[in-house]
Amino acid sequence: MDESRVAFLRRMIATPSPSGFEQPVQQVIREEIQHYTNEVRTDVHGNVIAALNPTSHPRVMLTAHCDELGFLVRYIDEQGFLYFAPIGGYDPSTLPGERVHIHTAAGPILGIIGRKGVHLMDREERGRAPKLSEMWIDIGVSSKEEALKLVAPGSVATRAAQLELLREHLVVSRALDNKSGIFTIVEAMCRLHEQREKLKASVYFVSAVQEEIGGRGAATSSYSVDPLIAVAVDTIWTSDHPGTSKQEIGEIKLNGGPALTIGGFVNPRVYQLLVAAANEAGIAYQLDPEAGATSTDNDPIRLTRAGVATALVNIPSRYMHTASEIVSLKDLDEIAELLACFVLSIDEQTNVIP
């Protein structure tokens, strides 16, 4: 993929957006999406909503969440150690020793997540996963007074990892869940803008907030956009590495192309339209069979107003919710192309009644 396109993904990763504190990355997204849309607005929740061809019918919404996991500083002790609450769902065993950035008005401050050292642990402590309550952030000061000059309680932090190329198409970073999803829908809007004479539907781009704490931005933005059809893009775990079971979660791999969800929480006709668009564009796709809830923004959007015909397109990812999530740029490119082809196939005659 073109380095100028990867630069946008790199810029989003470099800009922190823990749930509830997304506006810095939303600013980066507004600057990019304005080139491909007719109008851009931000709602009271912080969602960025942009439209291309806004007066046509039906309305199709492409959405991904821009928030990432983070930490909220709650208390600073006499020695200047910061105690925090998690923003979103962590595996606590991935945290000790991690470098973090605490975001302050004066810029990011480096910190380290501390925990009692392995040499000092008793047998029981060594044999179990650490608890978040046994960790703190160390910013290298020696008193509360010194810490307070740098950081106030209520500040947020994110892990410090940035985007790096791993090999061939593979990139690694924190927060690829779900800034890589935003990347695919921005890229799809860019391609739709280039072919806008062929566009029959109106397309709404939504960079949604607060997914990691419960799909909240998706609920409010879909109410306001009021689409007939909505496609959510998010990352999904793969079964292509040790410790996972294809028998339990199905067969999804990196570089295998878009993973399309099939099941009761997606509209069967929209799923079929995505399959048809993939076949037409010559894009190989994978299947994500989900018996129930998808635990993505698909779910709240589906129940908006009198119901929305939703579908879920998944980006294969290894090591989700760690500082080293891996996704494939080739998969991102194919998902963007699939979304653009899908939207171009929709017109007023499109039937989404199952």
Q: Which residues are catalytic?
A: 211
Question: What phi and psi, each to the nearest 5 degrees, are found at residue 286?
Answer: -120, 165
Contact 29, 186 (CB under 8 A): yes
Contact 22, 66 (CB under 8 A): yes
Residue type, 11: R
Residue type, 207: S
Residue nearest to Zn ion according to CB distances in the complex? 177
Tokens of 285: 């796709």
- For Zn ion, the closer CB: 53 or 178: 178
For Zn ion, how many residues bind (rule: CB under 5 A)?
Answer: 1
Least separation in angstroms between CB 198 and Zn ion: 34
Residues 136 to 195 in contact with Zn ion, rule: CB under 5 A: 177
Q: Buried b / exposed e across 311-348, counting CB within 10 Å, b at 16+?
A: bbbbbbbbbbbbbebbbbbbbbbbbbbbbbbbbbebee
- For Zn ion, the closer CB: 228 or 332: 332
- For Zn ion, the closer CB: 181 or 256: 181
Least separation in angstroms between CB 212 and Zn ion: 5
**Distance between first and last Cα of the chain:** 37
User: Is residue 43 classed exposed, middle or buried when 0-12, 13-18 and 19+ CB atoms within 10 A define those classes?
Assistant: middle
Q: For residue 299, state whether it binds Zn ion (rule: CB under 5 A).
A: no
- For Zn ion, the closer CB: 90 or 223: 90
Distance separating alpha carbons of residues 36 and 307, to the nearest angstrom: 28
Least separation in angstroms between CB 45 and Zn ion: 18
Least separation in angstroms between CB 214 and Zn ion: 11
Which residue ranges make up the site for Zn ion (CB under 5 A)? 177
